[in-house]
Amino acid sequence: MKDCLNYNMGTHLVQKRKSGADLPLCSRPSTPGKITQRSCAFYGARWMLAPLEDAIHIVHGPVGCAYYGGAVRGRSFRVFSTALEEKDIVFGGTKRLIRTLKEARIIIPHARYCFVYATCSAAIIGDDIDGICKEMEKEFGCRVIFVNCPGFKRDSQASGHRVAYESLLDGLIGQGERAEVGAHDVNIIGDYNINGESMALKSLLEKMGIRVRCIFTGHADYEGIIAAHRVKLNLLICQNSARFLAEALQKRYGIPYLEVTFLGLSQTMASLRRIGQYFGLERQAEKIIATAYKAIKPGLDRLLPGLKGKKAALFFGAARMASLVKALDDMGMEVTFTGSQFGDLAAYKEAWQNVDPGAYIIDDASEHDLERLLDELRPDVFMGGIKEQFLSHKFGIGFCLFPQLKCAGPYVGFQGFLNLAGSVHNAVYAPVWKLATPNL
Amino acid sequence: MTTSLKLNGRLTIEELNALPEIPIEGITYDQMYIEKEPICPEYQAPDQDIIPLSNRSFVMDPGRICMPFGAMWAGVGVHKCIPFVQGAQGCTTYPRYTFCRIFREPVSIATASFHEETAVFGGRKNFIEGLRNLIIRYHPEVIAIVTVCSSEIIGDDMEGFLEEARDSLEEEFGPKIFDEVKFVIIHTPSFVGSHVEGYNRAAAAFLKTLAKRSTPNNKVNIIPGMITPGDIREIKHILKLMDIEGAILFDISGTLDCPLRLPQSMPYYPKGGTRVEEIVDMGSSLATFALCHDAGEAGATYLEKRFRVPAMIGPMPLGIRYTDSFIKNLSEITGKPITDEIKDERGILIDAMADTFHYTMGVRVAIYGDPDIAAAAARFSCELGMLPAIIGSGTESKQFVKDIWETAHEYDFEPVILNGSDMFEWEEHIKKNKIDLILGSSKAVNISKEANAPLVRIGFPIYDRVGYQRRAYVGYRGGEYLLDLIVNTLLESKFPDDRVHQ
């Protein structure tokens, strides 16, 4: 393992020791020549804004960016592309953008707002997209929002998340009002409804008597976003990319926020209790916890004994790197390494607190780093995104696609914990791993 | 059982939930009425004037990706080759996602990691440092340097940078490094052409950089184009049956469809892929077969001009006639006879067609895909007696139009041809015409549902079903598979269960 530490990683890889707090280097651009798992700012912005389906989305750039940007969170979305060609690159693409905006209005006349995304080429040739957006806003009489997310912006997709939240904050939030504001109205910030999480969270909180007004951006629409400042509390789930929005709403509109997470049994319970405490709904919270736990108990009794003591490894976008460690801890599993593509210092601090001594924490692992870690630590299950999935399989290690495994259902809340335990159990005990060891 | 419960007519979900109890005989599907929630209020046909691509400036649901993707596809098909993308991180990660979704294999592509300062000062520093890092960490045998829109607009002088990088590599590792690593530069500005053209340029770039003429080797070169690993295996099978030695340029069958065998070596490299020696040797072959005209023609033409290796370009050997011409050409060039086994394989396909033409005759079909695949699929549809009414290709291609008209004249029909258009236009044509079947990629799933025409998946990309990358569509056996798919899909969707028994 020592070799791995010295292997040109700098200190992007650290091991937790009993004393002293080493955190990995983070929030830096990837080294050139790396097979990085990171993506670009445009990817981040699309990831955030794609599910706002009542809007017009225009990608100002070559056709490839629109092709890739149409598939987000494992679903397909419709985007308009200006499909810049050679002559536009030479003479500027502004005319094309203006025409596209007008034509998009004809195709989707009922759209209430538009997003215009900048890409690398559009930014380098220097089209004045911001100016055009302002101009068209007057003509259309609806919001036309410029999302300044050229791919090379800052070091990873996190910058795209930030830009997307900024554009929502400056472009939409606070533009409208709400007729009535209940005493228990909340927004959820940082849930992305990849696998039905938004609905699961909403129904869980509604049972407690809490009304979820808007979920950024898993379940959001125009009305919800423009009046997002008229709630009593924000629940912050993704603590990496979304913290910015929660803090900005607190600063601008005085809405407090609670950091919660619904991954894993203990964290779900603690979060529900905190929310209950805030609103004075402790009794309801306890009632929900008791009934929900009772409902999943038989399932857990069946699954958890098999998972006890098994080793897991994690590599994600960012926020789940820390919270999932706790969830696996609830299952009695041990985390050998955890890491993220673009986590910030706060995220790594949290991960560091959650893991046991001896575990590794890695920032922006390249494919090679993951190979080495998998090969040397041999976890029983590896959890991450689709790019890591097939690499893990090649090394004979079971993989749990998290959270995009569509066949398993959402992984948040109580039922979600059971779903997660089931998926991890499947990944560990699939007969294929026994058959894969050569016996010929 | 309560007699008050009457199930006549259809029940909505609310009524269903309100039922005091479910009758003992159950509730059948035709008694239920499940309302679908439409995404938009109602389908309103858009303004007809802006549907043709020439009348508008935007593209929606594009059927093409940018050029670098094709170049990366090519690079991945070479043994121990890592594409190095001179662009931002997204330019590697998006293609890697796409490869992973389609092939379900890990794919290694390195990035030059462009950021703000690179956009201002150029990518020289990143390029030189990046090549060095890549060589130290991965020990690749070939590095395919792929440019993207940003580096082409900034005006990075890749040839100059490579010279500099070679100097510094030589200084650090000694001259032996150039025996171990080869460099190929592929210029693929994303704002021109499409992934098909990117593959085409990669074929030319690889051959220009590596191929040499030495003693004739009696092999044939095959540039397969952007077809699946299964297709490439089928081509190899045909060559084997005819006892011909072939060299395949960009053999993804060994890199994008790999066995899982433990223990795994580090760093992970697939066993297969085209070897560098094979590419070098391609200058001495008998002939070059570019199976897809638009993806591979440039490479074949280069070899013809430079080394006088005859170029046999297209059509893609899918269906009877196109496979016939491929096999005849193979036999003529190599002088090997067409074996009995091949004639048998052809006979089996013909037999299958004879057994099923009642189902396929007169079926109106809409086709969309890369130009060569769409043209070949249209030809095969005609051979089955179907009518390809609307044929679209995501990439603009003259050959595509020529092929389609040739087929149309032969089979006497008048198709709508969308050359280089997007799926939005294709979809509007489908909605206006009566279409029974759609041949297209996974991108056409929603269109197929809306048009109530079943989808047979063909071409690129297929990411919502498993195993399509392992199946062949080319050759006679591939034709069999495609025929079965088409007929079974028709049987499943057009006929009730009791009418499909034989």
Residue A178: what residue type? R
User: Please, which residues 24-63 of chain B have a Cβ atom closer than 8 Å to chain A?
Assistant: 39-41, 46-47, 50, 56-62
Between the two ends of chain B, the Cα-to-Cα distance in Å is 42
Would you say residue A180 lies in a domain?
A: no
Residue B255: its chain A contacts at CB < 8 A? none
Structural domains counted in chain A: 3
Q: Report strand pairing: A71-72 vs A75-76.
A: antiparallel
Q: Does B417 touch chain A (CB under 8 A)?
A: no
Shortest CA distance from A125: residue in chain B? B153
Substitution target from A152, A154, A159, A404 for chain B, most B beta carbons within 10 A: A152
Is the pLDDT assigned to residue B42 strictly greater than 70? Answer: no
Instruction: Please report the number of interchain residue pairs, chain A to chain B, with beta-carbon separation below 8 angstroms.
Output: 240
Residues A11, A65 within the same domain = no
Contact at CB, B90 and A393, closer than 8 angstroms: no
What is the rounded average pLDDT for all residues in chain B? 89
Instruction: Tell me if A170 is assigned to some domain.
Output: no
Q: Determine, yes or no, domain membership for A311.
A: yes
Contact B190 A64 (CB under 8 A): yes
Residues forming a β-bridge with B364: B387
Residue A36 within a domain: no
Whether pLDDT at B383 is above 80: yes
> A357 — contact with chain B (CB < 8 Å)?
no
Residue pLDDT tens, chain A, 440 long: 334 433 444 578 888 888 777 788 888 888 899 999 999 999 999 999 999 988 999 999 999 999 999 988 888 898 999 999 999 999 999 999 999 999 999 888 888 899 999 999 999 999 999 999 999 999 999 999 999 999 998 888 899 999 999 999 999 999 988 888 889 999 999 888 888 889 899 999 999 999 999 999 888 989 999 999 999 999 998 778 888 999 999 999 999 999 999 999 999 999 999 999 999 999 999 999 999 999 999 999 999 999 999 999 999 887 788 889 999 999 999 999 999 998 888 888 888 888 989 899 999 898 888 999 998 999 999 999 888 999 999 999 999 988 777 778 889 999 999 999 999 999 999 999 988 887 67
- Is A175 part of a structural domain of the chain? no
- Please tell me the class of the B341-499 domain: alpha beta
pLDDT tens, residue by residue, B178-214: 999 999 999 999 999 899 999 999 999 999 999 999 9
Interface test with B, best of A394, A406, A432, A440 (most B CBs within 10 A): A394
Q: With 0-12 CB in 10 A as exposed, 13-18 as middle and 19+ as buried, what is A135?
A: middle
A435 at the B interface (CB within 8 A)? Answer: no
| Cβ proximity of B487 and B356 under 8 Å | yes
> What's the average model confidence in pLDDT over B409-421?
93
**Does the pLDDT of residue B306 top 90, yes or no?**
yes
Place of tokens 């909605």: B431
Residue A72, domain extent = 41-154
Q: pLDDT-derived band of residue B33, with 50, 70 and 90 as boundaries?
A: low
Instruction: Give the model's pLDDT for residue B30.
Output: 56
Q: What is the mean pLDDT of residues B109-127?
A: 92
* Closest-approach residue (CA) in chain A for B129: A32
Q: Which residues of chain A does B148 touch, with a Cβ-Cβ cutoff of 8 Å?
A: 120
Closest residue of B to A406, CA-based? B464
The answer, for A33 touching chain B at a CB cutoff of 8 Å, is yes
Q: Kind and range of the H or E element at A72?
A: strand A71-72
Q: Tell me, what's the pLDDT at B183?
A: 96
What CATH number does residue A215 fall under? 3.40.50.1980
A62-76, B341-355, B478-492: range with lowest mean pLDDT: A62-76
Q: Which of A63, A88, A103 sits opposite B66 (nearest CB)?
A: A63
Query: pLDDT tens digits, residue range B430-462?
Result: 988 888 999 999 999 988 888 888 999 999 899
Residue numbers of A between 389 and 418 with CB closer than 8 Å to B: 389-391, 393-396
- Is residue A404, in this structure, part of any structural domain at all? yes
Residue A125 contacts B where some CB pair is shorter than 8 Å: yes
Q: Does A359 lie in the same domain as A418?
A: yes
Distances (CA, A) of B218 to A282, B224, B287: 83, 19, 9
Per-residue pLDDT band at B13 (split at 50, 70, 90): low
| Same domain as A229, residue A136 | no
Q: Where are the beta strands (DSSP E) in B80-131?
A: 81-86, 110-111
Mark whether A138 and A45 lie in a shared domain. Answer: yes
Please give the pLDDT value at position B25. 67
| Confidence at residue B27, expressed as pLDDT on a 0 to 100 scale | 66
Q: 3-class SS at B243? A: coil
Report the pLDDT value the prediction gives residue A8, as an integer from 0 to 100.
42
pLDDT at B36 over 50: no
Structural domain ending residue among the three candidates A232, A255, A284: A284
Residues A190 and A279 in one domain: yes
N- to C-terminal Cα distance for chain A? 31
Q: Which two tokens stand for residue B33?
A: 């009425």
A-chain CB neighbours of B192 within 8 Å are 85-86
Model confidence, pTM = 0.92
Residue B9 has pLDDT above 60, yes or no: no
Contacts with B191 from chain A: Cβ below 8 Å: 62, 84-86, 88-89, 121
Min Cα–Cα distance to chain B from A406, Å = 12
Same domain, A69 and A124: yes
Q: Is A363 helix (H, G, I), strand (E, B) or coil?
A: strand
- How does pLDDT run across B60-100, given as a tens digit for each residue? 989 999 999 999 999 999 999 999 999 999 999 999 999 99
pLDDT tens digit string along B44-61? 677 788 889 889 999 998
* CB spacing of B119 vs A152 below 8 angstroms: yes
A417 and A316 fall within a common domain: yes
Give the pairing type, strands B245-248 and A13-15: unpaired
One of 3.30.70.360, 3.40.50.1980, 3.40.30.10, 1.10.3720.10 is the CATH number of B219-338, namely 3.40.50.1980
Q: In terms of CA atoms, which chain A residue is nearest residue B121?
A: A124
Is the Cβ–Cβ distance between B253 and B233 less than 8 Å? yes
User: How many CA atoms, within 13 angstroms, populate the side-chain half-sphere of residue B159?
Assistant: 3
By the CB < 8 Å criterion, does A87 face chain B? no
Q: Is A43's Cβ below 8 Å from some Cβ in B?
A: yes
Nearest to B62 among A76, A81, A393 (CB): A81
Tell me if B46 and A106 make a contact (CB, 8 A cut-off): yes
Confidence of residue B501 (pLDDT cuts 50, 70, 90): confident
Domain ranges across chain B: 67-210, 219-338, 341-499
A425 and A315: one domain? yes
Interface contact flag, B113 A89, Cβ < 8 Å: no
Nearest to B119 among A81, A124, A391 (CB): A124
Type of residue numbered B361: M
The Cα of B334 is separated from the nearest Cα of chain A by a number of Å equal to: 40
CATH architecture of B67-210: 3-Layer(aba) Sandwich (3.40)
Q: CB under 8 Å to B136, separation ≥6 — which residues? A: A8
Do B219-338 and B67-210 fall under one CATH topology?
yes
Q: Residue B144 contacts by C-beta under 8 Å, 6 or more apart in sequence?
A: B71, B72, B74, B75, B78, B81, B82, B83, B84, B184, B186, B202, B206
Distance CA A169, CA B76 (A): 42
Structural tokens at position B320: 């009877």
* Shared-domain flag, residues A198 and A88: no
Q: Quick check: is A431 in a domain?
A: yes
Residue of B138, B191, B196 to mutate when probing chain A, most A C-beta within 10 A: B191
Shared-domain flag, residues A316 and A253? no
